[in-house]
Each structure stands twice: as C-alpha cells, then as structure tokens.
Amino acid sequence: MTPEQFRAMGHRAVDWIADYLERIEQFPVLSQVEPGRVRAGLPAHPPREGEPFDAVLADLDRVVLPGVTHWQHPGFFGYFPANSSGPAIIGELLSAGLGVQGMLWATSPACTELETVVVDWMAELLGLPAHFRTDDRGGGSIQDSASSSVLVALVAALRRARAGSATARPTVYLTAQAHSSVEKAARIAGLDADALRVVDVDPDTLAMDPGHLAALIDADVAAGLAPAMVCATIGTTATGAIDPVRRIGEVTTRHGVWLHIDAAWAGSAAVCPELRWINDGVAEHADSYCMDPHKWLLTNFDCSLLWVADRAPLIEALSIMPEYLRNRATESGAVIDYRDWQVPLGRRFRALKLWLVIRWYGARGLAEHIRTGVRLAQHLAAMVADDPGFELLPHHPLGLVCFRPLWPGADPDDADRRTLDLLERLNAGGQLYLTHAKVHDRVVLRFAVGSPQTRDHHVEAAWRGIREQREAGLRVGATGR
Ligand code: PLP
C-alpha cells in the first residue's frame, strides 16, 4: 500500500467511524445475532488476491455490524462502561501509525518517556500520593488490563513474602466480592486454591471486614504460613462496594503484607476532588494501586494503570536480562525499561491515547464526565427509590445502581426467575443493555452509567422500559403464562 492509497483509505475509515458514532442510536444495543451468524456470513477461505477496501467496508456493514454489541451506545448500562472517545481513537491510530514496540527505553525512548509523563500526570489528576510518582520511590506503568495489573502485583508480593521466609507457604486474602481476576492471578502464579483466604464482608455494605482479615492473618502467621498479599477493592464489580482501605491497611502494615488496591472501575472517580474519599488510606498503606482508564475515563481499551509505592520489588521480581536485550542505556541505570514492569516483553505505545485524552479534556473535562455519570446514576436511584414496585440497594455513591423488581406473592427462587426473564425481555428490545449480579444469593439488576453519550432522557427512557417490563411480568405472572 502506497502512502497515497493509505491516505485515501484512512480518510474513508475515519469517515466510517464518524458516521457509525453519529448513527449509533439506530442500532440495538445488544447484538441480536444467533451464534455462528457472523462466521456464516464470511467466506471459509482467505482471498487468493487482494481485495478493494470497498468490499471490506461492505462486509463491515453487512456482516460485522449486526454482530456488534454497541458499547458506546448511550443505552449501554451493562457490566462497567468501556469508554471510547475521539481523542483516544485518534491516539490508537497514531500509535498504530508509528508502529513502535517499546519493550526497552532504547527501542523507542519517546514510548517510555511519554508513558512516564502520563502515568505521573494521572497520579496527580487522581490525587494519588507523591511516592507513587516516578520521581519518587514508586512509579506507574500502563498494563493491558486490571487482570494483568493484579498478577504483576501478586508476583512482586510473593517475591517479597518469600524473601522473608523461603519455605513458608504464601497466602492471599480477598473477599467473595473481589473480581475473579484476583483468583485467576493466584492460579497463574501457581498458588493452590487453599492459599486463598476469603475474608468476610459487612452484610450491609458488602465491604471487607478488617476484623476478620486480622483474625485470618493472625491465624495463618501462628500456623507458620506467609501472608503475601491482601487485595482490597474500591468499587466491586457486582455492586460497587468500597473496602475500608485505611482499616485494612492498618492490618497489612502491621504484618508487612502487600496491599494491592483494585480500583479498576471506580478509580476514575478520583479525578473529582469531592470523590477522593474513596481512596482514604491508600497514601499510607497501599503497595500497589490499579485503575482502568479503559473503563470510565474515555480511553479505548486497553489501558490499565498500575502504580507501585516502591518500584524495586516489582523490578526485582520481573527483570531478566538475556544477552540480546543488553544495551548501553539500560546498563547506565538512567532509563526505565517497562518490560520489567509487566508480563510480556513487547509493549504497545499506549501512552499516546491517554496523552491525547488528557490534553483534549483537561482535568476539568475529565471531572465533568465523571460528575455527569454520577449525577445520572443518582437520578435513576431516586426514581427507583420512589417506586414501590422496586427495591433499591442502599449504597450507590458513584455510577452504579443496583435494584430489584418486586414480585408480590412470589417465593425467592420464583422472584429471581422473573427478574431474569424481565432482564432478557429488556435486552431483547434493543434500546438498552443491563446486566445482573447476585447479592446474598439473590438476583439484582445492575445499572452502570458511564457512556459520554448518555443523557437524562436516555436514563429516563431506560427506567420507563424497566417499569413497563415489570408490569408485563406481573401480567404474565397473574395469568400463569
Ligand atoms: N477489577 C474490577 C473491580 C473489575 O470490575 C474488573 C472488570 O470489570 C476487573 C478488575 C478486570 O478488568 P480488566 O478487564 O481490565 O482485566
């Protein structure tokens, strides 16, 4: 492809994306295709000769789009948001255009140094402690996911625990509300299931019980085990619960246990000074902290930030220097090689998209985006609270609201079944997409606001749809059909 051909195709591709974003509300939020439909629409064998871009664009519209769930749709309220934005898309394009592989400082100094600048900027934007900054003991890096971030933190924590006691079996502490990536990280790190300790949660807030954590750690120490890491969550996936980091940190600091903070979704909220209470205790106690701009901060997947309070244990755990990577810059000790902060060797130039996002929106624009999401979630919560046909779960300070429709006369299992039926009907309607979770083993609906396109009228229309589907469910229940 010549530069001129690239320019022409690139303009058309950008036009296609702009048109898509402009007409996104015409599509059903949740893809309605049955399994196998996308594959069946495409040839089983690759083309022998190259094809024109027109043919590809036609297939994008005809085959691919029907199989897309539109995460950027203003009616997308499922899971957590996976924000995209114009500057982030352009940042991805620029990154692809440069085609850099930034495993070492020497393989592209700008890739490393821009990353250092944006992670330090982000630490400042979120009000994180100064020792998380690269010009202090710590530092941040861009990982592909919060799952990788917790794995990397765990590997560093295990190394530290083993340095304290080479033979004692390590243990890891989390609640049943923690994200599954913590358990997965433990498996990848080679820990047996019995190395995991499930800490109780407060039955009302679903946040970790620091008293139970202390008791578990005390018992493990007494049994000769080596408590290695506690993972506290700020904003759990099911309900947005916020573990009490300060009180948890008092326990981990007392025992010298690594404290990892998973703020994958909620961490973005700290761009608003009035929401920084969520990080209370992080400055004093956290060894590592993760948040995903690819969830709620307008930056296309993938972009997960991991900071450490002290970079030495992380680098000691992950740095291996084969002869073919030796170079003068690394040996001078004057540069960062981010390959030593992550699982893979190679790395994308992800800093570009975050840099574009921060420069386009500024601190003020980022905070406005979060405040809008929180305001809309509170608007929904107020409507749910006012409706006697629904039960609102009490704690929803950010952009996630959980609630359940009430089914008079139904036993708990029947009520769950009817709630899931309601969810299926809603999502099949194409106007919105919600997901569910279980709280104390009972189904709740999760409504996560976060798309930059979502306005009051989208939330109000969604609420009308939910109420209508409850009415429909009551009628079906009444006739027994
Ligand atoms: N932690 C929490 C609290 C999450 O909600 C999620 C995903 O929703 C993750 C971790 C995993 O995120 P990622 O896809 O970046 O690995």
Local confidence band at 477 (pLDDT 50, 70, 90 cut-offs): confident
Question: What was the pLDDT predicted at 153?
Answer: 98
Ligand 1: which of 144, 262, 296, 398 to mutate, most ligand atoms within 8 Å of CB?
Answer: 262
Q: Is 264 in the pocket of ligand 1 (CB under 6 A)?
A: yes
Distance from the CA of 472 to the center of ligand 1, in angstroms?
34
| Domain 100-349, classified CATH 3.90.1720.10, yes or no | no
Distance from the CA of 327 to the center of ligand 1, in angstroms?
36
Q: CA 76, CA 380: separation in Å to the nearest integer?
A: 14
Q: E strands of 138-273, at which residues? A: 139-143, 170-175, 196-199, 226-233, 258-262
Give 345-366 pLDDT, tens digit per residue.
999 999 999 999 999 999 999 9
> In this model, does residue 478 exceed pLDDT 70?
no
Provide the percentage of residues in the chain whose pLDDT is more than 90: 96
Q: Is 260 in the pocket of ligand 1 (CB under 6 A)?
A: no
Strand-pair partners of 446: 402, 435
Ligand 1: which of 150, 151, 181, 239 to mutate, most ligand atoms within 8 Å of CB?
Answer: 181
> In this model, does residue 65 exceed pLDDT 90?
yes
State phi, psi for 398 to the nearest 5 degrees. Answer: -115, -130
Distance from the CA of 293 to the center of ligand 1, in angstroms?
11
Distance from the CA of 233 to the center of ligand 1, in angstroms?
10
Q: Is 230 in the pocket of ligand 1 (CB under 6 A)?
A: no
- DSSP symbols for 263-329: -TTGGGGGGSGGGGGGGTTHHHH-SEEEE-HHHHSS--S--EEEEES-HHHHHHHH----GGG--HH
Q: Is 209 in the pocket of ligand 1 (CB under 6 A)?
A: no
Which of 263-299 are b and which e, b meaning 16 or more Cβ less than 10 Å from the residue's Cβ? Answer: bbbbbbbbbbeebeebbebbbebbbbbbbbbbbbbbb
Closest CA to 360 of 433, 297, 291, 275: 297
Q: Take atom 12 of ligand 1 and give the residue whose Cα is closest.
A: 146
Q: Is 149 in the pocket of ligand 1 (CB under 6 A)?
A: no
Which of 308-332 are b and which e, b meaning 16 or more Cβ less than 10 Å from the residue's Cβ? Answer: bbbbebbbebbeeeeeeeeeebbee
Q: Is 288 in the pocket of ligand 1 (CB under 6 A)?
A: no
Distance from the CA of 48 to the center of ligand 1, in angstroms?
41
- DSSP symbols for 356-420: HHHHHHHHHHHHHHHHHHHHHHHHHHHHHHT-TTEEE-S---SSEEEEEE--TT--HHHHHHHHH
Determine contact, residues 75/462, Cβ cutoff 8 Å.
Answer: yes
Residue 288: both structure tokens together: 């590592």
Strand pairing class (196-199; 390-392): unpaired
Give the position, in ligand 1's atom list, of the atom nearest the Cα of 294.
15
> In this model, does residue 480 exceed pLDDT 90?
no
Encoded amino acid at 390, one letter: F
Residue 75: both structure tokens together: 């009616």
Residue with tokens 């630490």: 123
Question: What was the pLDDT predicted at 479?
Answer: 54
Give the position, in ligand 1's atom list, of the atom nearest the Cα of 233.
3
Residue 148: CB atoms within 10 A of its CB come to: 20
Distance from the CA of 143 to the center of ligand 1, in angstroms?
12
All CATH 3.90.1150.170 domain ranges in the chain, comma separated: 1-30+69-84+363-481
Q: Which of 8-22, 420-434, 465-479 has the lowest mean pLDDT?
A: 465-479
Distance from the CA of 146 to the center of ligand 1, in angstroms?
5
For domain 1-30+69-84+363-481, the CATH class is alpha beta
Give the position, in ligand 1's atom list, of the atom nearest the Cα of 149.
16
Provide the percentage of residues in the chain whose pLDDT is more than 70: 99
- DSSP symbols for 162-185: HHH-SSSPEEEEEETTS-HHHHHH
> In this model, does residue 289 exceed pLDDT 60?
yes
Mean pLDDT of the chain: 96
Q: Is 80 in the pocket of ligand 1 (CB under 6 A)?
A: yes
In this prediction the pTM is 0.97
* CB neighbour list of residue 116: distance below 8 Å, 6 or more residues apart: 134, 139, 336
* CB neighbour list of residue 154: distance below 8 Å, 6 or more residues apart: 172, 185, 186, 189, 228, 229, 260
Give 100-135 pLDDT, tens digit per residue.
999 999 999 999 999 999 999 999 999 999 999 999
Residue with tokens 């352009």: 90
Strand pairing class (196-199; 400-405): unpaired
Instruction: Give mean pLDDT, residues 330-342.
Output: 94
> In this model, does residue 164 exceed pLDDT 90?
no
Q: Is 463 in the pocket of ligand 1 (CB under 6 A)?
A: no
Closest CA to 347 of 88, 169, 115, 159: 115
Strand-pair partners of 307: 140, 289
> In this model, does residue 403 exceed pLDDT 70?
yes
Q: Which of 32-46, 164-178, 241-255, 439-453 has the lowest mean pLDDT?
A: 164-178
Distance from the CA of 264 to the center of ligand 1, in angstroms?
5
Q: CA 282, CA 259: separation in Å to the nearest integer?
A: 9
Instruction: Sheet with 139-143: list strands edge to edge.
Output: 139-143, 304-308, 288-291, 258-262, 226-233, 170-175, 196-199
Give the position, in ligand 1's atom list, of the atom nearest the Cα of 150.
10
